[in-house]
Amino acid sequence: MKDSLFAKLQPQKNYMQIARQIRNLIRDGTLMVGDKLPPERHLVAQFGASRASIREALSALEMLGLVECRSGHGNFIKADGSEGTIDGKMLQTLFQDHDPYEIFEARLEIEPPLAALAALRATTEERERLTAQVERLATLGRRIREEGFADPLIEGYMDEDRKYHLEIGRSAHNAVLFTVFSGVNLMMAETHWKAMKSKGLMKEGNLQAYEQEHGAIPAAILGKNPKLAQKELKNHIFKLRRKRDVVAAVAAAAKGKVPIIPGTAACSTREAILLSNDACEAGADFVIVTAPYYFKLPDSSLKAHHVTIARNVGCPVIVYNNPLYKGNPTSPALIAELLKEKNIVGVKQSSVDMGQLIEMIRLAPEGKSLCTGIDSQFYPALCAGASGVYSTAAGVLLISSNLDEVLGVADTLVVMYKGRVVANLANREQITKELIGEYMMGLREAGA
């Protein structure tokens, strides 16, 4: 049996090659209806591609009805080789489309300078047209919120959005830049871009954010403030992707060798779920969340917050208890309750009270990962049965290529390992890597 179902990619559009390979495996019967595709990190390794390319391919196959993406469960084959979508016209159209991420990059380079020029050069008539276009978008947005995400309304919103951006470009009075941007704007009407944009619109909170940003850009243009107009348009394109892009960049650099665990804490449960799912979609293997902060909450609310997140997020969750900075301590008894949730796989305990961690270890179900978040507790935590440490010192050791520099920054830095102080810094680096590897393996097993 072959080690992998998939072949290494050739120098073409990666997501198209991935989609074609999966399509061909469906067509020849290798992949059947109901089959689950490997996890994304395995697909990254097998295809030799980035997570972004994997996600684009899965998005395209989902549009075609060939794959079903089930949040928190994975990606499943939805059609067999006899389905018309396998070689249909839509598939050919899709493969001719431009890469949505390249469209995004082009917009980010071209549109903000156009907004700055529009702030300086737009005529009174152009300012009035832009204001009217903002109102049309706002009206459509209100209808979508009231009537639901019906296809005609979404299509209309995306068409008016393209016109809005064209109006800004036209107001810049630079024929060369406008010609280039007109071509990019036309690509925003392509099937794959519209499918991804539509999914973005339907995510809770995004429509309202778009509306606020659609108003902020013309306000800067009407105020004849080029720097602000450029900044607002750049934020509009980039804002909702910024955190995702950080996670995606780290995941691409890691190449599946170690798990990616971003923090996705938020004061509201709803926002934490949105941030967590964005991180999962961008390539996170786990997310780490805290209790809500600022307001003091009872245990029942803290439990509801974490459980609701765990049940609505597409990757495993780690609970981060940091009472000093969050003001809402999560007790050992509550931690034990939370760890009964299948999708909550571990705890990061950052409290000076070692007794709390020991009690959590005593009460926790088997197969869960409990770690200290305080370096000085590393060895006693291991003695008490902890899985490991989320180590700040380890981060310093691993990212620095200059050992003398590390010593200069942290003269008293000490790493404890198996009951002894490791005095040789080169050995510390090796041991730290070993410990992190052991801990990550434990996390993987807990999340399996």
- Confidence band of 171 (pLDDT split at 50, 70, 90): very high
Residue 411 is predicted with a pLDDT of 38
- The span from the CA of 275 to the CA of 244, in Å, is 8
> What is this structure's pTM?
0.51
Predicted confidence (pLDDT) per residue in 304-313, tens digit: 999 999 998 8
Residue 416 is predicted with a pLDDT of 39
Residue 406 is predicted with a pLDDT of 43
The H or E element spanning position 321 is strand 317-321
Predicted confidence (pLDDT) per residue in 362-379, tens digit: 999 988 999 988 877 887
- Mean pLDDT, rounded, for 346-370: 91
- Confidence band of 124 (pLDDT split at 50, 70, 90): very high
CATH class for the region spanning 14-96: mainly alpha
Strand order in the sheet with 287-290: 287-290, 317-321, 344-349, 369-372, 388-389
CB atoms within 10 A of CB 132: 10
Give the start-to-end residue ranges of the domains of the chain.
Answer: 14-96, 100-241, 258-447
- Confidence band of 360 (pLDDT split at 50, 70, 90): very high
Predicted confidence (pLDDT) per residue in 269-310, tens digit: 887 887 888 788 778 889 999 998 777 889 999 999 999 999
Residue with tokens 């925003």: 188
- The span from the CA of 283 to the CA of 292, in Å, is 24
Q: Are 172 and 202 in contact (CB under 8 A)?
A: no
Predicted confidence (pLDDT) per residue in 67-96, tens digit: 887 755 778 888 765 554 545 555 555 556
- Mean pLDDT, rounded, for 178-194: 81
b/e per residue 186-210 (b: at least 16 CB within 10 A): ebbebebbbbbbbeebeeeeebeeb
Q: How many Cα atoms within 13 Å fall on the side-chain side of residue 279? A: 25
Residue 110 is predicted with a pLDDT of 92
b/e per residue 372-404 (b: at least 16 CB within 10 A): bbbbebbbebbebebbbbbbebbeebeebeeee
41 φ/ψ angles, rounded to the nearest 5 degrees:
-65, -30
Residue range 100-241 in CATH 1.20.120.530: yes
Nearest of 157, 182, 159 to residue 169 by alpha carbon: 182
- The span from the CA of 337 to the CA of 344, in Å, is 10
- Mean pLDDT, rounded, for 99-118: 86
24 φ/ψ angles, rounded to the nearest 5 degrees:
-65, -35
CB atoms within 10 A of CB 345: 24
Nearest of 257, 307, 316, 314 to residue 446 by alpha carbon: 316
The angle formed by the CA atoms of residues 332, 336 and 342, to the nearest 5 degrees, is 150
Catalytic residues: 320, 348
CB-count exposure of residue 241 (10 Å: 0-12, 13-18, 19+) = middle
Domain 258-447, CATH homologous superfamily name and number: Aldolase class I (3.20.20.70)
Q: Are 10 and 17 in contact (CB under 8 A)?
A: yes
Residue 115 is predicted with a pLDDT of 95
367: left (phi over 0), alpha (psi -120 to 50) or beta: left
Nearest of 390, 342, 387 to residue 369 by alpha carbon: 387
pLDDT at residue 448 greater than cutoff 60 = no
Residue 82 is predicted with a pLDDT of 56
Dmax (CA) of the chain: 76
- Confidence band of 198 (pLDDT split at 50, 70, 90): confident
pLDDT at residue 136 greater than cutoff 70 = yes
Residue 293 is predicted with a pLDDT of 79
- Confidence band of 425 (pLDDT split at 50, 70, 90): very low
Q: How many Cα atoms within 13 Å fall on the side-chain side of residue 169? A: 22
Q: Are 284 and 314 in contact (CB under 8 A)?
A: no
| Average pLDDT across the chain, whole number | 78
Residue 148 is predicted with a pLDDT of 84
Residue 242 is predicted with a pLDDT of 61
- More confident site: 399 or 318: 318
Q: Are 136 and 220 in contact (CB under 8 A)?
A: no
AA letter at 212: Q
